[in-house]
Amino acid sequence: MNDGRRIFQLFAELVDYPQSDQAGVARECASLIALQCPEAAAHLGKFAAFAEVTSLERVQEVFVGIFELNATCHPYIGYHLFGESYKRSVFLLGLKEQLDARGLSYGTELPDHLAVLLRFLSICDDDALAEELIRVAMLPALDKMSGARKEDDAPKSGEPDPQRSGFKAYQDVLQALRLTLRATYGEALVGADAPMADAIPMMSGD
């Protein structure tokens, strides 16, 4: 397996529900991207430091609070691009066709889950498809997911925030992924230049 495919697999583990040693996963991923994108590797190092001193049960609690209860970080790419709309349904259908064609099982999860898409990229044999998916879908969504915490969500002065360190740690994971994809594939395609305006026709087979 080449490093690129392994990097996608490792990032998939980091943005999926934690089941194992997350610090080890982060450090392996950081070592693979260090030369290509040292800034991304540094972000993963920060996450690894958090995971090393945090129990797996606590990491799981933080993960749920961030990715399942915080709409800003919902791990569903189509949600960030289209909301709950017909266009997202078309996007999901196109993704399902691509995943099924390659025999990728994703259980009860939706096809636009970030971890599912990263696992898809780790086996995708179509470079043009992979680049389009990353530049017109994943990167624009990651730009939103990895943004600064909203002022309204920030703790008030002197008010304890038990999840703050965890929030920042997972923001480091998202930033690392965003920077790594940009280093390899370039900037996101948004606006008039992006086929995303038509719900990625290529994904839906048009």
Residue type, 140: P
Query: Is residue 153 in some structural domain?
Result: no
Compare 206 and 65 and report the one with higher pLDDT: 65
Indicate the helix (H) or strand (E) that contains 49. helix 38-52
Query: Is residue 22 in some structural domain?
Result: yes
Q: What CATH number is associated with residue 190? A: 1.10.3480
Query: Is residue 158 in some structural domain?
Result: no
- Prediction pTM value: 0.86
| pLDDT at residue 133, rounded to an integer | 94
Evaluate if residue 204 carries a pLDDT over 80.
no
| pLDDT at residue 159, rounded to an integer | 39
Confidence of residue 203 (pLDDT cuts 50, 70, 90): low
SS3 94: helix
**How many Å apart are CA 171 and CA 47, to the nearest integer?**
9
Overall size of the chain counted in residues: 206
Helices (H), 66-109: 77-82, 86-101
For the chain, the domain total comes to 1
| pLDDT at residue 84, rounded to an integer | 86
| pLDDT at residue 199, rounded to an integer | 44
Query: Is residue 157 in some structural domain?
Result: no
pLDDT tens digits for 2-52?
Answer: 789 999 999 999 999 999 899 999 999 999 999 999 999 999 999 999 999
Residues whose CB falls within 8 Å of the CB of residue 44, separated by 6 or more in sequence, listed in order: 26, 27, 29, 30, 33, 172, 173, 176
**How many Å apart are CA 75 and CA 118, to the nearest integer?**
11
Average pLDDT over residues 136-164: 62
Query: Is residue 12 in some structural domain?
Result: yes
| pLDDT at residue 160, rounded to an integer | 37
Query: Is residue 97 in some structural domain?
Result: yes
Confidence of residue 186 (pLDDT cuts 50, 70, 90): confident
Tokens of 155: 């703790």
Evaluate if residue 158 carries a pLDDT over 80.
no
Give the structural domain span for 90: 3-148+163-198
Confidence of residue 165 (pLDDT cuts 50, 70, 90): confident
| pLDDT at residue 1, rounded to an integer | 59
Query: Is residue 135 in some structural domain?
Result: yes
Evaluate if residue 163 carries a pLDDT over 70.
no
Residue 33 burial (C-beta neighbours within 10 Å; 0-12, 13-18, 19+): buried
Query: Is residue 156 in some structural domain?
Result: no
**How many Å apart are CA 182 and CA 184, to the nearest integer?**
5
CA-closest candidate to residue 21, choices 51, 45, 50: 51
Of 65-69, 118-122, 188-192, which gets the smallest average pLDDT?
188-192
Average pLDDT over residues 134-159: 68
Helices 3-14/164-185 angle, 10° precision: 160
CA-closest candidate to residue 39, choices 137, 133, 179, 171: 179
**How many Å apart are CA 167 and CA 42, to the nearest integer?**
17
| pLDDT at residue 164, rounded to an integer | 54
